[in-house]
Amino acid sequence: MKSLVILISGRGSNMQALLEASLPATSITVISNNPAAEGLTLAQAHGIATHVVDHRVYASRESFDAALAEVIDACQPDLVALAGFMRILCDQFVYHYQGKLINIHPSLLPAFPGLNTHVRALQEGIRIHGCTVHFVTPELDHGPVIIQAAVPVLSRDTPETLAARVLAQEHRIYPQAVRWFLQERLTLVDGHVEIMGVNREQHVLYSPDLES
């Protein structure tokens, strides 16, 4: 059985989705850079061990990342899942966890890396938006895609309504990606993720509908 570490900074709804997914992990630890993260209380309510590594205590990004890695490594994780972890990680950290560090991002990458993805999606007038789980590489919000979910952008959408529609899908795809990883079904072939035993032939999603 496997050891999973989840890194959070705030609300922790993706973390909660992972905790409630009955994942094949014997050990789950939640670590936050923010002592006030609501997700910490949620994790504790699930009986999960939590740690805080407060980035404000460290003089540099490198010293914070090193302290964080020390706490993570003590858990001997098979997988480190970023779940709303709002810190840019230095290259050394990313390479240390290469192949076992994944992230969820609220857009269909490579569109809209970075912050405020829903506002930017509405500004661009795109019809289909979504979320992505990917392996982390040193480039921000970039790396081999494991799974994506698409949602329509509606004419009456605000950033909040669009965010809520995307978030509901985040809560579906993140547990699925973590499960596949822990089941050792993910392999990287030529920089792309292959998933053992998964049928990728599915229907096309149009928005708006071609018939209307």
List, edge to edge, every strand of the sheet that includes 25-32: 49-52, 25-32, 2-8, 79-82, 101-105, 128-135, 145-152
Which residue out of 46, 51, 105, 203 is catalytically annotated? 105
Sign of the CA dihedral with 55 first, then 60, 61, and 66 last:
negative
CB of 59 to ligand GRF, least distance (A): 26
Q: Return the CA Rg of the chain.
A: 17
Minimum distance of ligand GRF from residue 190's CB (angstroms): 27
**From 11, 96, 179, 185, residue interacting with ligand GRF (rule: CB under 6 A):** 11
Point out which span in 20-28, 89-97, 99-107, 193-201 binds ligand GRF (CB under 6 A): 99-107
Answer whether 144's CB lies under 8 Å from 136's CB: no
- Choices 11-19, 45-53, 71-79, 108-116; region in contact with ligand GRF by CB under 6 A: 11-19
Range in contact with ligand GRF (rule: CB under 6 A) among 72-80, 100-108, 148-156, 187-195: 100-108
Among 6, 7, 10, 181, binds ligand GRF (CB under 6 A): 10
Q: Which residue number has the CB closest to ligand GRF?
A: 84
175 is a site residue for ligand GRF (CB under 6 A):
no
CA distance 8 to 55: 12
C-alpha distances in Å from residue 63, one per residue of 74, 75, 92: 17, 19, 11
What's the min distance (Å) between Cβ of 55 and ligand GRF? 16
Residue 170 makes contact with ligand GRF by CB under 6 A: yes
Give the residue with the Cβ less far from ligand GRF, 157 or 170.
Answer: 170
**Distant-in-sequence, close-in-space partners of 94: CB < 8 Å, separation ≥ 6:** 101, 136, 137, 138
φ, ψ dihedrals at 187, nearest 5°: -135, 150
**Residue 203: active-site member:** no
| 162 Cβ contact partners less than 8 Å away, ≥ 6 residues apart | 118, 121, 122, 129, 151, 153, 154
Binding mask 46-85 for ligand GRF (x = CB under 6 A): -------------------------------------xx-
List contacts with ligand GRF (CB under 6 A): 8, 10-14, 83-84, 104-106, 167, 170
